[in-house]
Amino acid sequence: MTEPIEIRRIGPEGAAALHSVIAAAFGARPPLDPPADADSETVETVAAALEEYGGLVATSDGVPVAGLIFDRVADRVFLRRFGVVPAAQRSGIASRLVEEAVATATTIGLGEDGRDPLAAVAVVARAELPHSVRFWTRNGFRQVAGEPPYLQLERVVRLVLDTPDAASMRAFGGRLATVLRPGDLVVLTGELGAGKTTLTQGLGAGLGVRGDVTSPTFVIARVHPPLGDGPALVHADAYRLGGVAELDDLDLDTSLDDAVTVVEWGEGIAEGLASSRLDVRITRATGTTPPGIDGADPRRVVVVPIGARWRETDWSALG
Ligand SMILES: Nc1ncnc2c1ncn2[C@@H]1O[C@H](COP(=O)(O)OP(=O)(O)OP(=O)(O)O)[C@@H](O)[C@H]1O
Ligand SMILES: [Mg+2]
């Protein structure tokens, strides 16, 4: 299709346009038992559903062809009534709408009412419609819960973990190693002594690489070769890069494509390295045990997967 497609955010004023999409898209599906609620939507019910968080409508030459409604529930944003009219299906519009929806969802309700930032974008799909389930899987959603015929699928936008002590930070690094593969970039940020190197030690142990992982004090980056047939670990300290040198230009004994690269303090420096990366932020947890009591010095770890690399990743191992 060559027509210009435009995706815009709508509120209740966009109800008529979105309702026309819902009627055409859901009307074209086979009858379901129990019937989908979408079948009984009216312009008024759609307007009411758009009241709180709005939705998206995609138009092709001004004609509405796809859309959805946002619905925030605790730390998740559900995409409701996601539909594409039959004439516009297989045009790539559905996947574009998903990307736009995920980007928009991350801004919905953030920081309001003291609520937690978003953890995941979720959808409910009908088990009787396997092509629909496959569509969500192709677009980075994984089945997490739900009772047939209702399946819940989610795409993780942010994982939060608490580590009470250094040993549990290392254990977390070990679990993180299980989701990484050659070519991956992990950017660790956190203040001095936050635990970036401690996490990397666990990662090195989990990957099974040679040498002790320590702060790369006198070298900008250290290569830990694999003991087995896994990837090498490249451990770099962007603080010492001074913010100018590029890791790519360093003469390392390995290609970054064959290694897992971890950059400490890489914010604003390492991002240019790869279009996909894992952002890991470590902060001293507050509101829990004061540091020092019983040796506890808890840290909060926030993992934000960025880019297409993580679409298929099963994050359940990190929990
Ligand atoms: N929950 C915890 N998680 C991580 N480290 C902890 C924790 N509790 C205590 N520690 C201790 O805090 C210190 C963290 O130091 P580490 O070198 O890992 O920090 P860093 O972020 O790499 O610092 P730098 O900015 O100097 O590179 C270690 O001595 C570790 O044993
Ligand atoms: Mg360090």
Nearest ligand to the C-alpha atom of residue 194:
1
Question: How far is ligand 2, taken at its centre, from the CA of residue 8, in Å?
Answer: 44
pLDDT tens string, the chain, 319 residues long: the values are 456 889 999 999 999 999 999 999 998 888 888 888 888 899 999 999 999 999 999 999 999 999 999 999 988 999 999 999 999 988 889 999 999 999 899 888 665 555 667 889 999 999 999 999 999 999 999 999 888 889 999 999 889 899 999 999 999 999 999 999 999 999 999 988 899 999 999 999 999 999 999 886 667 789 999 999 999 999 988 776 654 456 777 777 788 889 999 988 766 666 666 778 999 999 987 655 555 556 678 999 999 998 889 988 989 888 7
3-state helix, strand, coil in the chain (%, to 5): 35, 30, 35
Output the ligand 1 site: residues, CB below 6 A: 163-166, 169, 190, 192-198, 215, 264, 297-299
Q: Is residue 96 part of a domain?
A: yes
Task: Please check whether residues 48 and 164 belong to one and the same domain.
Answer: no
Whole-angstrom distance, CA of residue 119 vs CA of residue 116: 8
Sheet containing 277-284: give its strands across. 159-163, 299-306, 277-284, 185-189, 259-264, 232-237, 221-224
Distance 213 CA to ligand 2 centre (A): 10
Q: Which domain holds residue 187?
A: 159-318
Which is the closest atom of ligand 1 to the Cα of 299?
Answer: 1
In a domain, 126, yes or no: no
Indicate the number of domains in the chain: 2
Domain harbouring 45, CATH code: 3.40.630.30
Mutation probe of ligand 1 site: the residue of 163, 187, 197 with most atoms within 8 A of C-beta: 197
